[in-house]
Amino acid sequence: MRVVVPPIKSQGIKTKLVPWIQALVPEVDGRWVEPFLGTGVVAFNSGFDKALLSDTNPHIIRFYQQVKEGRIRSASARRYLEEEGKKLRTAGNNGYDHFNVVKNRFNANHDPLDFLFLSRAGFNGMMRFNKKGEWNIPFCKKPNRFSKSYITKIANQVHDAACLIQKDWQFLNLSFDQIIPQAEENDIIYCDPPYSGRYVDYYNGWSEEDEQRLFDLLSATKAKFILSTWHHNDYRENDMISKYWNSFNIVTRDHFYHSGGKIENRRSIVEALVFNFDANVREHNHGIEPKPEQLLIFEQREQYITQQLVRPDV
Ligand SMILES: C[S@@+](CC[C@H](N)C(=O)[O-])C[C@H]1O[C@@H](n2cnc3c(N)ncnc32)[C@H](O)[C@@H]1O
């Protein structure tokens, strides 16, 4: 599966897990409902014509809404990044002075292109906001960050997003408890909430009350759902699984990542997908074994995505 990568980055991005998640998606003729949209990578690879997409982070929603409306296009993003990249290259303090100009401008005006800049010039592709809701990730310390090839890569990602966003994709800036009740029987809900106890920031607090509320709403929904969460890591289990999610179906898979650059910092976590429908899957590693007809739909989606990507108007 060719995974389409979005222009916005964050530490919680599910790019590597997309094929695993998409292979589990059942055949439904309703909408793709995603209340915790984040970078949008899972939605962009869903292949659905109709979608209800939401996040409490208004910057993400504003960015994609403007891409949908054609106010942000591949060409305008390229022009913007060329201009700002040039200023970054020659700015004092090894580029930091201009990074701060963009950061302060974004914190005052919330311009979606400045959001794109910060997302791509921040340390390690992270996204975090402080208690006042201001951008809180430092500069990656690379004044030459916006090279020609990097700008082309980002412009292409904006192009891909513009091609994949359909007219019936609705973007909302609401909390999950206002989105899940809107899902109907033929919809599929995909939930990727903040993991409790990790990445707490202005838009990413997550308490046990939130988990309980999510459980109540997903237990009550008539729609099918898939929930991403973690099962256990090298040190502990996720208590929320035994407390809430064990009554549904669960598949797991190992996921390796680096915390810091060194090889000895390689960590593993067992990721879980919780879902409320029947699927032909092995429980661990991950052996999702699609039925022939599911495989077919999957291929059709891929073909659809590839076709959509050759839209000529950007
Ligand atoms: C783990 S991230 C989603 C990552 C996404 N699947 C991706 O691959 O990029 C969780 C997202 O939930 C959003 N969020 C946090 N609390 C929320 C809430 N109460 N309702 C809706 N969205 C929320 C955060 O802003 C963040 O974008």
Ligand 1, atom 16: nearest CA belongs to which residue?
204
Give the tens place of pLDDT for each residue, 23-34: 999 999 999 999
Q: How far is the CA of 26 from the centre of ligand 1 (A)?
A: 22
- Please enumerate in sequence order all residues whose Cβ is within 8 A of that of 298, keeping only pairs 6 or more positions apart, or say none: 1, 22, 23, 290
Q: What percent of the chain has pLDDT over 70?
A: 86
Query: Quick one: the chain helix, strand, coil %, rounded to 5?
Result: 45, 20, 40
- pLDDT of 244 above 90: yes
> Would you call 135 helix, strand, or coil by DSSP?
strand
- Ligand 1 atom 20: residue of nearest CA: 175
| Structure token digits, residue 287 | 């052996």
- CA 212–ligand 1 middle distance (angstroms): 16
Check residue 124 and report its DSSP letter: G
pLDDT of residue 302: 54
Instruction: Quote the ligand 1 centre to 79 CA distance (angstroms).
Output: 30
- Mean pLDDT, range 149-164, rounded to an integer: 98
Please give the biggest Cα pair distance in the chain: 59
Burial, 260: exposed, middle or buried (Cβ in 10 Å; 0-12, 13-18, 19+)? exposed
How far does residue 43's CA lie from ligand 1's centre (Å)?
13
Give the pLDDT band of residue 159 (cuts 50, 70, 90): very high
- Residue from 44, 173, 204 whose mutation best tests the ligand 1 pocket (most atoms within 8 A of CB): 204
pLDDT confidence tier of residue 289, bands split at 50, 70 and 90: very low
Rounded Cα distance, 50 and 97, in Å: 43
Over the stretch 3-14, which tens digit does the pLDDT of each residue have? 999 999 998 899
CA of 92 to the centre of ligand 1 (A): 35
Binning pLDDT at 50, 70 and 90, where does residue 310 land?
A: very low
Roughly what angle, to the nearest 10 degrees, separates helices 112-121 and 58-68? Answer: 120
Over 80: is that where the pLDDT of 300 sits?
no
Query: Sorting pLDDT into bands at 50, 70 and 90, what band is 285?
Result: low
Residue 58 CA, ligand 1 centroid: distance in Å: 11
Question: Which residue owns the Cα nearest ligand 1 atom 27?
Answer: 38
For a substitution probing ligand 1, which of 36, 136, 200, 214 has the most ligand atoms within 8 Å of its CB?
36
Bridge partner residues of 188 (DSSP):
32, 224
Tokens representing residue 98 in the block? 């201009």
Q: What is the mean pLDDT of the chain?
A: 89
What average pLDDT does range 278-301 have in this prediction?
Answer: 54
Q: Is the pLDDT of residue 177 over 80?
A: yes
> Which tokens go with 60?
């993400």
Beta-strand pair 188-191/224-233:
parallel
Ligand 1 — pocket residues by CB below 6 A? 10, 12-14, 35-36, 38-39, 41-42, 55-57, 175-176, 192-194, 203-204
Residue 116 has pLDDT above 60, yes or no: yes
Domains and CATH numbers, the chain: 15-58+65-69+168-308 (3.40.50.150), 74-159 (1.10.1020.10)
Q: What is the pLDDT of residue 263?
A: 61
User: pLDDT tier at 1 (50, 70, 90 boundaries)?
Assistant: confident
Q: What confidence score (pLDDT) does residue 233 get?
A: 86
Distance 201 CA to ligand 1 centre (A): 11
